[in-house]
Amino acid sequence: MAVRIRLQRRGSKKRAFYAVVAADSQMPRDGRFLEKLGTFDPHKEAGGLDLDMDRVNHWLSVGAQPSPPLAKLLKSGTEAAAQA
């Protein structure tokens, strides 16, 4: 089983927000997941990324791969945290 950390779309039409989840790579985008790790709201001013970094680091340490959009968000989020 290959685990991916990815975005799961939530919200209504044209007001989407996303749950950040650890899921089996074979599951559909909005299907079953192993653990909810946080949220991402693109409509918020301050980035809108709210993660439990302990759990994200745990999943990364056991071999989970972030999806490309999430990897980009994680990179920008850690750079913003380092500057603050």
pLDDT value of residue 71: 92
- The domain segmentation of the chain, as residue ranges, is 3-83
CATH topology of domain 3-83: S16 Ribosomal Protein; Chain: A; (3.30.1320)
pLDDT value of residue 81: 55
pLDDT value of residue 83: 45
pLDDT value of residue 54: 93
pLDDT tens for each residue of the chain, 84 residues long: 799 999 999 999 999 999 999 999 898 888 889 999 999 998 887 778 888 999 999 999 999 999 999 999 888 866 555 445
pTM: 0.84
| Tokens at 17, concatenated | 């927000």
Q: How many CB atoms lie within 10 A of CB 36?
A: 14
* Residue 69 to residue 84: CA distance in whole angstroms: 23
* Residue 5 to residue 82: CA distance in whole angstroms: 22
